[in-house]
A and B are shown apart, each in its own frame.
Chain A
Amino acid sequence: MSLKKYRKKSPWILHYNCGSCNGCDIEILAALAPKYDLERFGILNNGNPKQSDIFLVTGPLTYRSRERLVELYTQMPEPKVVVAVGSCTCTGGVFNDMYNVENGIDKYIPVDVYIPGCAASPELIIDGVVKGLEILEQKTKEIEKPKKLLGELDESKASIDRTKFAGNIDDRKN
């Protein structure tokens, strides 16, 4: 099996708390535990960003954790999906406008799925992660599409069609 299939069958998650009240974190734990059993999708809670595909973030992003958040995000390999768990991760929630808080993580990293709720219930977390899996698949396909860097090869002429260069102005327009 190729890596593509592994990624589809067993996406690993990385969980980071950037200032939450623990409410959503314990719901993530509960979602992984037997009653809700997120692990049936092949998901494993993993501490290493370099092996993870889905980034579960909780908390309204405090000043001191934003550097860690961006660092973790950049360490994850492409394709990756970011899931914001809980209202305070989406918009700041009840912590909105407190002096040490950045009002949601999407100022710093792109978010693919927003999960509402204070605390987000395990059912919602499962829905969000499954949605994330779809997006992950799309992104994988997107990445594997061949890129036209040097334009197309015209075999009959056995030369490169230079009108379709990536730098061509007409090409950029459409």
Chain B
Amino acid sequence: MATKKTINIPLGSQHISLLEPIRFNFSTQNEKIVDVDWDVGFVHRGIEKACTTNFEFKQVGYVVARVCGLCAITHSLSYTIGVEKLLDHEVNKKIKYLRLLMLELDRIHSHMLCLAHVSENAGFEGMFMKIMADRELVMDIQEAISGNRVQFDYVSIGGVNRDLDLETEKLLKKNISLLEEKIDDLIDKFTNNWSLSLKYKNIGHLSKEDAYNMNALGPMARACGAKIDVRLETSDFPYDEVGYELVLEQGGDIHSRNMVRLREIKNSIKMVRNIVDGVPEGEIMEKVKGKPKGETFMRIEAPRGEIFYYLNATGKNMLQRVRIKTPTFSQIPAMVNVFKGANYADAHAILASFDPCMSCTAK
């Protein structure tokens, strides 16, 4: 038998199916990917350094939001709660509820973008357009609550910047109910549509052991049955009061990842309803005095997995160290593992189903 020839196929750093600059080098043998090499550093801006040299601790919350436009609220929230811990201040329940509300709305729109992207990369452009149109329902709510569609600087140290008024509440409830119907419809399509299920089932498979061994996070881990979710493990937010449920699927393929995202959206919708119904009375901004001193860490479940913040301060206006660890960075070994053995033709769909975020990874 003739020896198999290995062919290298580059993908990126600019490509129609990639929103962000990232370069892959796939080594393929007869259509099968045997190895993959990647380069994620194109969007490195140096935010961690800037947080300790260019900005004061009161401003950093708005700067770290610009690490990533999709999970902006998660970043600023992690930082803000970290600083509040250093200042020994716990905010009241109303603020916690409002923060949680934005966190879950953010999760909904991020997951929907990912689903749209997966459909597009698998060649179903109409589905992409449909999901993007439905996503506007959530964007409208976010705009009504915070004043901007993405990069809403909603969280400040000591509270949130805007209150929820009656009109917004009405709009929120209306849009959420509309969205719920659409999501039910999408769940039906993603399970039963001939072209979607055929394309997605058993492709890009990750087993449960590999998920544990290689530190998969977020929807990617939950799609293969691994119970990994920061929302279960921490008590910074009143998650049990608002009806949080762990969503698990067993397949580990693209289809399961889609299903995990869809079901999480449903769960988030339920939580958003409960939050709006149960917002307690209280102030939306509390006075926080002093300057942070000491070190602390903070974990929050972003739409893609765990975000980890480490802060170190010496009681001055400038922080000494801000360390950010983001979900995509931790997932890279697991992703490489999934690529090995897959067909090159599926590479784009698999890539989109991880929902990688390069802006977070390179910072």
The 0/1 profile, CB within 8 Å of A marked 1, for residues 313-342 of chain B is 000000000000000000000000000000
A33 touches B132 (CB 8 A): yes
A98 touches B46 (CB 8 A): yes
Chain B contact patch, size range: 35 or more
A119 touches B151 (CB 8 A): yes
In whole angstroms, how far apart are the Cα atoms of A25 and B113 in the complex?
12
Instruction: Judge whether B259 is part of the interface by a CB distance below 8 angstroms.
Output: no
A101 touches B14 (CB 8 A): no
CB distance from B34 to the nearest CB of A (A): 26
In whole angstroms, how far apart are the Cα atoms of A126 and B46 in the complex?
31
Chain B: which residue is nearest A72 at the CB level? Answer: B14
B13 touches A22 (CB 8 A): no
CB distance from B237 to the nearest CB of A (A): 24
In whole angstroms, how far apart are the Cα atoms of A118 and B133 in the complex?
22
Contact check: which of B21, B70, B151 meets A118 at CB < 8 Å? B151
In whole angstroms, how far apart are the Cα atoms of A48 and B14 in the complex?
9
Known A-B contacts A29-B132, A33-B132, A34-B133; the reply to A98 vs B150 at CB < 8 A is no
Q: Which DSSP category, helix, strand, loop or mixed, fits chain A's interface? A: loop
Chain B: which residue is nearest A46 at the CB level? Answer: B16
Which A residues from 12 to 37 make CB contacts under 8 A with B?
A: 16-27, 29-30, 33-35
In whole angstroms, how far apart are the Cα atoms of A95 and B63 in the complex?
8
Chain B: which residue is nearest A49 at the CB level? Answer: B14
B148 touches A119 (CB 8 A): yes
A27 touches B14 (CB 8 A): no
In whole angstroms, how far apart are the Cα atoms of A28 and B101 in the complex?
25
CB distance from B223 to the nearest CB of A (A): 23
B49 touches A16 (CB 8 A): no
Contacts of A88 in B (CB 8 A): 66
In whole angstroms, how far apart are the Cα atoms of A46 and B14 in the complex?
11
Contacts of B68 in A (CB 8 A): 21-22
Instruction: Judge whether B87 is part of the interface by a CB distance below 8 angstroms.
Output: no
Contacts of A29 in B (CB 8 A): 19, 113, 132
Known A-B contacts A19-B45, A62-B44, A100-B46; the reply to A26 vs B14 at CB < 8 A is no
A21 touches B63 (CB 8 A): no
Instruction: Judge whether B174 is part of the interface by a CB distance below 8 angstroms.
Output: no
Instruction: Judge whether B72 is part of the interface by a CB distance below 8 angstroms.
Output: yes
B113 touches A26 (CB 8 A): yes
CB distance from A136 to the nearest CB of B (A): 21
Instruction: Judge whether A140 is part of the interface by a CB distance below 8 angstroms.
Output: no
In whole angstroms, how far apart are the Cα atoms of A34 and B19 in the complex?
19
CB distance from A124 to the nearest CB of B (A): 11
A119 touches B21 (CB 8 A): no
A101 touches B45 (CB 8 A): yes
B21 touches A68 (CB 8 A): yes
CB distance from A90 to the nearest CB of B (A): 15
Chain B: which residue is nearest A59 at the CB level? Answer: B43
A27 touches B149 (CB 8 A): yes
Contacts of A72 in B (CB 8 A): 14
Contact check: which of A20, A35, A65 meets B359 at CB < 8 Å? A20
The 0/1 profile, CB within 8 Å of A marked 1, for residues 159-185 of chain B is 000000000000000000000000000
Interface residues of B (CB under 8 A from A): 13-17, 19-21, 41-47, 49-50, 54, 62-63, 66-70, 72, 113, 128-130, 132-133, 135-136, 139, 148-151, 357, 359
Can you show 30 pairs from A to B with CB atoms below 8 A apart?
A16-B14, A17-B19, A17-B20, A17-B21, A18-B21, A19-B21, A19-B44, A21-B66, A21-B359, A22-B19, A22-B20, A22-B68, A22-B70, A26-B69, A26-B113, A30-B132, A46-B16, A47-B15, A47-B16, A64-B41, A64-B44, A65-B43, A68-B14, A88-B66, A98-B47, A98-B50, A99-B46, A100-B45, A118-B151, A119-B150
Interface residues of A (CB under 8 A from B): 16-27, 29-30, 33-35, 45-48, 59-60, 62, 64-65, 68, 72, 88, 94-95, 97-101, 118-119, 121-122
In the A-B complex, list the 5 residue pairs whose CB atoms are closest, starting with the nearest.
A47-B16, A23-B69, A33-B132, A22-B69, A34-B133
